[in-house]
Amino acid sequence: MLESVPEPAVPDVLAPSLIGRNGLMLALLAVALLLPFVVQNFLIFQLTLVLVYAIAIIGLNLLTGFNGQFSLGHSAFYALGAYVAAMLMDKVDFPYPATLPVAGIACFVFGFLFGLPALRLEGVYLALATFALAVATPQILKLSPLEYWTGGVQGIVINKPDAPFGLPLTQDQWLYFFTLFVTVIMTVLAHNLVASRTGRAMMAIRDNPTAARSMGINIALYKSLTFGVSALYTGIAGALGAIVVQFVAPDSFTFLLSITLLVGLVVGGVGWIPGAFFGGAFVLFVPNFAESISKGLSGAVYGVMIILLIFVLPTGASGLVRAALQRLRAHKIQ
Amino acid sequence: MTALLEVRDLHASYGTTRVLHGLSFGVLEGGVTTLLGGNGAGKTTTLRALCGMVLRTGEITFAGRSIAHLSTEDIARLGIAHVPDGRGTFVRLTVEENLELGAITRRDRNAIAQDVERVFGYFPILQKRRGQQAGTLSGGEQQMLAIGRALMLQPRLMLLDEPSFGLAPRLVRELFGILAALNKSEGVSLLVVEQNAALALDLADQAYLVETGRIVFSGAAREIREDEKIRRSYLGY
Ligand SMILES: Nc1ncnc2c1ncn2[C@@H]1O[C@H](COP(=O)(O)OP(=O)(O)OP(=O)(O)O)[C@@H](O)[C@H]1O
Ligand SMILES: [Mg+2]
């Protein structure tokens, strides 16, 4: 799968100019800021969830797309983030924004520690180990000794926050803006990470671990750190998800959630950060669309759509956008 | 001249398969040593053992310091650059990014930029391809990139595993010319594994013949070059 995302070798003249790229970003941001004033509340809620998924998918992408490690266990990190946030609000009245860094740090530590033994595993074996983590998590959350904290099978209900400072926004609008703010920060940070020396080292390990070691790169350290950062992203997404949905329960975080994130990653484009937004939108809206086509066979319809998409766009949205940009620029040059 | 690398009684194995049975050899400071031998003799394994990539025992001293217990990345940080067989570039990164990765343990940004240009001086074709993905380079270009990337480490010793493999004859001569220049002008010591014995013996000052994990002959490169019997029986030319 990793082999299927070659970045086209773009000659210098075709590289996006800084102004053009920033202009595009600002335009997209403007649209994102205006959207909640022109669409229905339920759609706002859904768009907020798209952003939440996008953060989680960026986390998975850092691990898989940029470091070459597979995970079917990201639902566990998402769950941990969600539960940390929910428990902090439920038990100790933590203000909801303050739960995000705590959830992030908890997941970073857990991810790093999980990444250490996982170092010995490659490819399918790592996928299996993370799969086990995903399967175990909902069951652990249901354990009765933990019930005081986790709420057991019932889970935890969270209050929906109002807009602060008397802002004239509905709760949904406010949560959307809050999530958008966090998303922008997390996206910029991920972008900078990937462009840094550390990012280079991560990709070197993905491309050729042996050669990376020969360059003096401590791959054990980088791989576990990447696991930690990836879990941090997904954990923050989980915490945001809990706040937005106002509810956590073990069965929201099954192995299926891991697959959902993986689908989002592949649809958006492995190794391309903005792809997370396409992937997030896909996994949120397309299953609903499939259900509208056939209630009984919605799963099958969804499956067929994924297969079609992979046939038409083997590199996900990233390939499509890159081709479009190249065309545009080639056109301009003429 | 003093020894930069000294190896004594080197054993190595893959799992339970023993492959090296007590090799002893060395590389002089500023010198060029070549390891020759047929397929499966254990030359690649020897380089891997020096870099800590396979299980090994024995004494390995680099610049007066034992490195037999160090990890691969720490050995690289001491200034030993390994150019493995089959090149091993970072296929999805650009030529320039590959070179910069070679210097990832260094902090001197300006000197790194200068070294990139210096590598381009040795291998002009890489400059033309600087923005191209390494995986899309030709085999020969990738070989040059692998050597250039190793240079970015500012190594004191380079381990080269069959640098001529898959290159056109003209390129091979050019490459060995560059290696000789690196050795002379930059003072990088070399340990070269080669199938092309004639070429390697021209470059080297010391040579060792390896057969099934043992050294069967050692001496000055010139001696071997001129000893027809050894050439015939071991090197086949
Ligand atoms: N990863 C491995 N696992 C098990 N055995 C190996 C491994 N790599 C090499 N060997 C064995 O070790 C022996 C030495 O191999 P090595 O690659 O060092 O030979 P070489 O001298 O480099 O040969 P060539 O000139 O063909 O490259 C061979 O018998 C080979 O089968
Ligand atoms: Mg070999």
pLDDT tens per residue, range B161-187: 999 887 888 889 989 999 999 999 889
Domain assignment of residue B201, given as a range: 31-51+76-235
Q: Does the pLDDT value for residue A63 go beyond 60?
A: yes
Mean pLDDT of B183-193: 93
What local confidence, expressed as pLDDT, does residue A39 receive? Answer: 85
Q: Does the pLDDT value for residue A8 go beyond 50?
A: no
A2, pLDDT greater than 80: no
Considering the entire predicted model, what is its pTM?
Answer: 0.86
Please indicate, yes or no, if residue B25 is contained in any of the structural domains. no
Nearest chain B residue to A221, by CA: B73
pLDDT single digits (tens) B85-95: 877 899 999 99
Nearest residue on chain A to B91, judged by CA atoms?
A207
Q: Kindly report the CATH number assigned to the domain that includes residue B204.
A: 3.40.50.300
A219 close to A205: Cβ distance less than 8 angstroms: yes
Q: What is the mean pLDDT of residues A35-63?
A: 93
* One-letter-per-residue 3-state SS of A124-150: HHHHHHHHHHHHHHHHHHHCHHHHHHH
Angstrom distance (rounded) from CA A156 to CA A42: 22
The answer to whether residue B20 is domain-embedded is no
Q: Which residues of B45-81 are buried (b: 16+ CB within 10 A; e: fewer)?
A: bbbbbbbbbbebebebbbbeeebbebbbbebbbebbb
Q: From residue A25, how far is each of A187, A188, A280, A282, B105 by CA, in Å?
A: 12, 11, 18, 21, 34
Is it the case that residue A177 has pLDDT exceeding 70?
A: yes
As to burial, measured by CB atoms within 10 angstroms (0-12 exposed, 13-18 middle, 19+ buried), residue B107 is exposed
Residue A143: per-residue pLDDT: 82
- Partner-chain contact B101 A10, CB within 8 Å: no
Cα of A262 from ligand 1 centre, angstroms: 38
Using the structure block, give the residue that is written with the tokens 């923050």. A236
Cα–chain center distance at A76: 13
Q: For A156-175, how does the pLDDT look when each residue is reduced to its tens digit (9 = 90+)?
A: 888 888 888 888 888 889 99
Interface test with B, best of A215, A217, A322 (most B CBs within 10 A): A215
What DSSP letter does each residue of B170-186 carry, written as one string?
HHHHHHHHHHHHIIIII
Mean pLDDT confidence for A127-144: 88
Residues whose CB is less than 8 angstroms from the CB of residue A248 and which lie 6 or more positions away in sequence, other chains included: A79, A82, A83, A86, A151, A155, A156, A158, A242
A268-319 pLDDT, tens digit each:
989 999 999 999 999 999 888 888 888 888 888 888 888 888 888 888 888 8
User: Do residues B190 and B27 touch, judged by C-beta distance below 8 A?
Assistant: yes
User: Is the CB of B42 within 6 Å of ligand 1?
Assistant: yes
Residue A129: pLDDT over 70: yes
Spacing, Cα B99 to ligand 1 middle (Å): 28
Q: Examine the pLDDT at A209 and tell me if it is beyond 50.
A: yes
| Span from the CA of B170 to the centroid of ligand 2 (angstroms) | 22
Q: What pLDDT, on a 0 to 100 scale, did the predictor assign at position A233?
A: 98
Q: What is the mean pLDDT of residues B61-88?
A: 92
Structurally, how many domains does chain B consist of?
Answer: 1
**Lookup result for tokens 């509810």:** A247
In this predicted structure, the answer to whether residue A35 has a pLDDT above a threshold of 80 is yes
Minimal-distance CA residue of chain B relative to A4? B92
Average pLDDT value over all residues in chain B: 91
Number of other CB atoms surrounding residue B12 within 10 Å: 23
Structure tokens, A280: 């997030």
Mean pLDDT of chain A: 87
Task: Give the DSSP letter of residue B207.
Answer: E
Q: Which residue in B51, B76, B88 is closest to A208 by CB distance?
A: B88
In this predicted structure, the answer to whether residue A244 has a pLDDT above a threshold of 80 is yes
Mean pLDDT score, A221-250: 95
Answer whether B121 touches A (CB < 8 Å).
no
Instruction: Calculate mean pLDDT across residues A64-80.
Output: 94
**pLDDT band, residue A6 (cuts 50/70/90):** very low
Per-residue CA distances from B58 to B55, B67, B68 (Å): 11, 10, 7
